Amino acid sequence: MHLLIILHNSYKIHEVDHIDKFIKAELPNPNIHPQLYERVKSFMIHNPCGLLNPASPCMVDGKCSKQYPKDYQQATEFNRSGWPLYQRSENGSSFIQNQIEIDNRWVVPYNPFLLMKFNAHINVEACCSIHAIKYLYKYIHKGHDSALIRLQQNGTTMYDEIQNYVDTRYVSSCEATYRIQSQKLLDRSHVIQRLPVHLPDEQSVVFAAGQEEMALARAAIRKTKLIGWFELNQINSTARSLKYAEVPHFFTWSQSNHCWNSRQNHHSSLTRLYVVSPRHAERFALRLLLLNVKGATSFEFLRTFNGILYPSFQEAARKRGLLSSDEEIEECLQEAVAIETPKICDPFLHICLFLMEQKFCRMQTTFG
């Protein structure tokens, strides 16, 4: 663990004396502190490196990356970059480890109290300056924070996680005003309407296995939005000036009564007719008619042009000139691009077939 402790202003370490009070980088006197001496020997000695052990993991480019052994230092002082140089007396204090003499130059800075308390390697450094970037930023930000610790004096209340959550929840003045006035926090800006495109008696019916007849009976009395539009046009003159896709802007669909009612609210609405592939030529033609014909009152109405009832939607669309221009084809491909990108060649192929068929029809009419 790399732990950065930020002390209260009045406890911050600015003086050399403070450092000496908390951090040692020397072997303690074995006669006065025998246990501490043993622990420093066990945990706080930098493993001999350099010429003594060139294979040590701390060695980078033939030098110790942690700059051990350090120089002897008569008294603690700050070097120019703000790093403390801890006192390392040349007092002859040393011991032998693996036939190597270890003295104060090999001691890793430690705090005697922490070493005695936890009986483990705990390197303590004073980072008094912003120049100690490595300790301030690099080490402690190596990974995400794993723990957040708060220290409290005895007698104060226990840490209350719930209260802490409540206390730290921030409500801005804007949000507060909004809530006090009981404004809606969520709303819907647009109503999205999808309009079915189906041939006479070919609306989709959803049924569960074994309940087909029940579903069929239900579908017989339930009108689709398309049938509902025909009925609306029969009774409402305003609606007759609208195309199928424009209806939801002025009318809302009642799910329970299966009819279009005048729109009461002012929601903007987005409308989309279900996409039909040119492969389904009749339905494709029906969709073109629905996109272009206003106020239709029946399927027959859509098949009628200039007073003539045509036998198919394709024929009616062709007579209206909806299938002769490339515009419709381009629109169809644009839609395919937006909706079925991986299968774009599919509608393209059907358009080609469709155009060839049309040519053939025209040739038939011309030459009998």
Residues at the site binding Zn ion, with contacts judged by CB under 5 A: 49, 58, 64, 68
Tokens representing 24 are 């040692």
Terminal Cα distance for the chain, rounded: 92
Measured distance CA(123)–CA(108) in Å, rounded: 7
Polymer length in residues for the chain = 368
Measured distance CA(257)–CA(146) in Å, rounded: 59
Q: Which residues of 111-121 are buried (b: 16+ CB within 10 A; e: fewer)?
A: bbeebeeeeee
Strand, coil or helix: 203? coil
Kindly give the interhelix angle for 326-339 and 345-367, rounded to the nearest 10 degrees: 160
Strands 59-60, 304-305: pairing kind: unpaired
Measured distance CA(314)–CA(298) in Å, rounded: 16
Q: How far is CA 15 from CA 65, 132, 367, in A?
A: 28, 16, 110
- Contact call for residues 259 and 232 (beta carbons, < 8 A): yes
Tokens representing 251 are 């009318």
Tokens representing 365 are 């009419």
Tokens representing 4 are 């950065």
Owner of token pair 């309940």: 211
Give burial (CB, 10 Å; 0-12/13-18/19+) of 59: middle
Q: Which is nearer to Zn ion, 57 or 92 (CB)?
A: 57
Helix (H) or strand (E) holding 101: strand 100-103
Least Cβ distance, residue 66 to Zn ion (angstroms): 5
Give residue 336's Cα distance to chain centre: 28
Task: Find out whether the peptide bond into 69 is cis, omega within 30 degrees of 0.
Answer: yes
Q: Which is nearer to Zn ion, 54 or 210 (CB)?
A: 54
- The number of C-alpha atoms within 13 Å of 213 and in the hemisphere containing its C-beta is 1
